[in-house]
Structure 1
Amino acid sequence: MAVGNGGGGRILMLHGFVQSGKIFSSKTGGLRKSLKRLGYELYYPTGPIRVNKEAIAKLHGWPEQDGKKDLSLASQFDSSDSVDQIYGWYLREGPDLKEFNIEERTLDYLHDYVVENGPFDGVMGFSQGAGLAGYLLTNFNQLLNLSEEQQPKLKFFVSFSGFKFEADQFQQSYGDKPMAIPSLHLQGELDTVVSEERSMKLYNCFDAATRHLIKHPGGHFVPNSKNVVTHVTNWIQNIESTKSRPTLERTSPKPDGPELDDDLMDMINSMGKI
Structure 2
Amino acid sequence: MSNLYRDTPTQAMLSSSALRRTQLTASHLTSKQPSRNLSILDDSSSAMSSQRKLKILMLHGYTQSGPLFHAKTRALEKNLDKAFPAAPKPGHLPSYPGGVELVYPTAPLKLSISDIPGYDVDGSKSENEDPEAYAWWRRKGDGEPFTYEGLEQGFERIAEVIKEKGPFDGAIGFSQGGAAAGMFASLLEEGRRDAFEKQQSQGGMRYPESFEQDTGFMTDVIQQPLKFAVSYSGFGAAPNELYTAFYEPKIKTPMLHFLGSVDTVVEEARSLRLVDACVTGRGVEGGVARVVYHPGGHFLPSSQKQYVAALVAFIREVVGGPPEDSLENKKEEKAEDMDMPF
Using structure 1 for the length normalisation, give the TM-score: 0.74
Q: Give the counterpart of 1:219 among 297, 307, 315.
A: 297
Task: Give the letter for the 1:48 counterpart.
Answer: P
Counterparts of 1:190 and 1:43, CA distance in 2: 29
The question of whether the paired residues in 1 share the 8 Å contact of 2:170 and 2:226 is answered with yes
The structure that is helix-richer by fraction is: 2
Greater RCO structure (CA 8 Å; 6+ sep): 1
C-alpha distance 129-23 of structure 1, shift in aligned 2 (>3 A)? same
Counterparts of 1:3 and 1:28, CA distance in 2: 28
Deviating more after overlay: 23-32 vs 143-152 = 143-152
Q: % of aligned pairs identical? A: 32
- Determine the structure 2 residue equivalent to 1:161: 233
Is 1:91 matched with 2:170?
Answer: no
- Determine the structure 2 residue equivalent to 1:255: none
Is 1:233 matched with 2:312?
Answer: yes
- Structure 1: where are the runs of 5+ without partners? 72-82, 244-264
Equivalences for residues 45-60 of structure 1 within 5 A: 45-57=105-117
| TM superposition shift of 1:100 | 2.2
- Determine the structure 1 residue equivalent to 2:211: 145
Is 1:195 matched with 2:267?
Answer: yes
Could you say what the CA RMSD is over the residues aligned between the two structures, in angstroms?
3.2
Deviating more after overlay: 204-213 vs 178-187 = 204-213
Equivalences for residues 74-153 of structure 1 within 5 A: 84-96=131-143, 98-140=146-188, 143=208, 144-147=210-213, 150-153=222-225
| TM superposition shift of 1:29 | 1.6
Secondary structure, aligned partner of 2:256: strand
The question of whether the paired residues in 1 share the 8 Å contact of 2:136 and 2:176 is answered with yes
Counterparts of 2:112 and 2:337, CA distance in 1: 22
1:201-227 CA-to-partner distances (Å, cap 9, x unmatched) read 100111126570000000001112122
C-alpha distance 217-3 of structure 1, shift in aligned 2 (>3 A)? farther
- Determine the structure 1 residue equivalent to 2:93: none
| TM superposition shift of 1:4 | 5.4
| TM superposition shift of 1:51 | 0.8
Counterparts of 1:93 and 1:150, CA distance in 2: 29
Counterparts of 1:220 and 1:201, CA distance in 2: 17
| TM superposition shift of 1:102 | 3.8
C-alpha distance 188-150 of structure 1, shift in aligned 2 (>3 A)? same
| TM superposition shift of 1:107 | 2.1
| TM superposition shift of 1:55 | 3.6
Task: Give the letter for the 1:231 counterpart.
Answer: A
Secondary structure, aligned partner of 2:300: coil
The question of whether the paired residues in 2 share the 8 Å contact of 1:26 and 1:268 is answered with no
C-alpha distance 86-63 of structure 1, shift in aligned 2 (>3 A)? closer
| TM superposition shift of 1:12 | 0.6
Equivalences for residues 27-42 of structure 1 within 5 A: 27-37=72-82, 38=84, 39-42=99-102
Secondary structure, aligned partner of 1:220: coil
The question of whether the paired residues in 2 share the 8 Å contact of 1:111 and 1:146 is answered with no
Counterparts of 1:168 and 1:70, CA distance in 2: 40
Counterparts of 1:103 and 1:34, CA distance in 2: 32
The structure with the largest alpha-carbon Rg is 2
Secondary structure, aligned partner of 1:123: strand
| TM superposition shift of 1:53 | 2.1
Task: Give the letter for the 2:134 counterpart.
Answer: Y
C-alpha distance 182-88 of structure 1, shift in aligned 2 (>3 A)? same
1:132-153 CA-to-partner distances (Å, cap 9, x unmatched) read 2212322237534244685222
The question of whether the paired residues in 1 share the 8 Å contact of 2:185 and 2:225 is answered with no
Secondary structure, aligned partner of 1:100: strand
Using structure 2 for the length normalisation, give the TM-score: 0.60
Counterparts of 2:297 and 2:181, CA distance in 1: 21
Counterparts of 1:3 and 1:31, CA distance in 2: 26
